[in-house]
Amino acid sequence: MDLNSPIFKRIRVKREPEPLPSATRCDHPGCEVTGEFRAPKGRLREGQYFCFCLDHVKEYNASYNYFRGMTDDDVAKYQKEAVVGHRPTWNMGVNRGGKGHREEGVEPDAFVDPMGIFRNRTPGGADAQPRRPRYGLAATKALNTLGLDETADAETIKARYKDWVKKLHPDANGGDRSLEDRLREIIQAYKVLKSAKLA
Ligand SMILES: [Zn+2]
């Protein structure tokens, strides 16, 4: 047998099992596990689903953000309309001769939220405050690249970043450079978050 034949080399280099067809693979970037759990894609993509493995469907559900992809202004507008829609008589007259300016649409307990749309999707649902967009589009995108949303604190961002680098680095993949683009995205996203003082 010729051990130096190109065919033999190719076989030897291949360390990982064939990836599953994309239809059944987990939609989480870089995850090779079967995606057997469905998760809704969200606003304007009703009826569309991601397929995740158990770990990633849990993670997705914990960070699910209905407003993903909307600008801060859009979210504020949506909230304002929701306020008007749900409670037409909301705070009528409160401002008259009152305590001065009150920002519309961000009053914590001013309206009923039967769908739970504005509640933070934190695990356990402990935080019932209305969700407020805190970040600009670039930071939000960067968080999404890391698989996080605006509820992530600096510690979480750092930890997630380290996880990704560990997972995607060629050294951790037997020299496989096919994940480099994804790694570059992760690093770029982390830089954005760092310069926004979020990480
Ligand atoms: Zn997965």
Q: What does the domain layout of the chain look like in residue ranges?
A: 24-64, 70-133, 134-199
Centre of ligand 1 from the C-alpha of residue 130, in Å: 30
Helix (H) / strand (E) element for 170: namely none
DSSP string of 86-136, one letter each residue: H-TTTTTTTTTTSSS---TT--TTSS--TT-TTB---TT----SBP---S-
| Ligand 1: centre distance to CA 23 (Å) | 13
Ligand 1 midpoint to CA 29 (Å): 8
Do residues 91 and 106 make contact, with C-beta atoms less than 8 angstroms apart? Answer: no
Taking the C-alpha atoms of residue 123 and residue 156, their distance in angstroms, rounded to an integer, is 14
**Looking at residue 146, what is its pLDDT?**
93
Alpha-carbon dihedral 33, 34, 36, 38, rounded to 10 degrees: 60
Contacts for 190 with CB less than 8 Å, ≥ 6 apart: 142, 146, 157, 161, 199
- pLDDT of amino acid 111: 56
**CA distance to 3, 84, 106, 120, per residue, from 78 (Å):** 66, 10, 11, 16
* Span from the CA of 52 to the centroid of ligand 1 (angstroms): 5
Of residues 57, 52, 12, 20, the one with CA closest to residue 35? 52
Q: Compute, in angstroms, the gap from residue 134 CA to the centroid of ligand 1.
A: 28
Rounded to the nearest whole angstrom, what is the distance from the C-alpha of residue 49 to the centroid of ligand 1? 14
Q: Return the amino acid letter for 60.
A: Y
| CA 57 / ligand 1 centre spacing (Å) | 7
Residue 56 C-alpha to ligand 1 middle, in angstroms? 5
- Counting as low any pLDDT under 50, the low residues of the chain are 86-103, 105, 107-109, 122, 124-126, 128
Q: Where are the beta strands (DSSP E) in the chain?
A: 37-40, 49-52
The Å distance, Cα 119 to ligand 1 centre, comes to 26
CA of 25 to the centre of ligand 1 (A): 8
Q: What is the CATH number of domain 134-199?
A: 1.10.287.110
**Cα 118 to averaged position of ligand 1 atoms, centre (Å):** 27
Spatial CB neighbours of 94, under 8 Å, sequence gap ≥ 6: 102
- Ligand 1 centroid, distance to 164 Cα (angstroms): 13
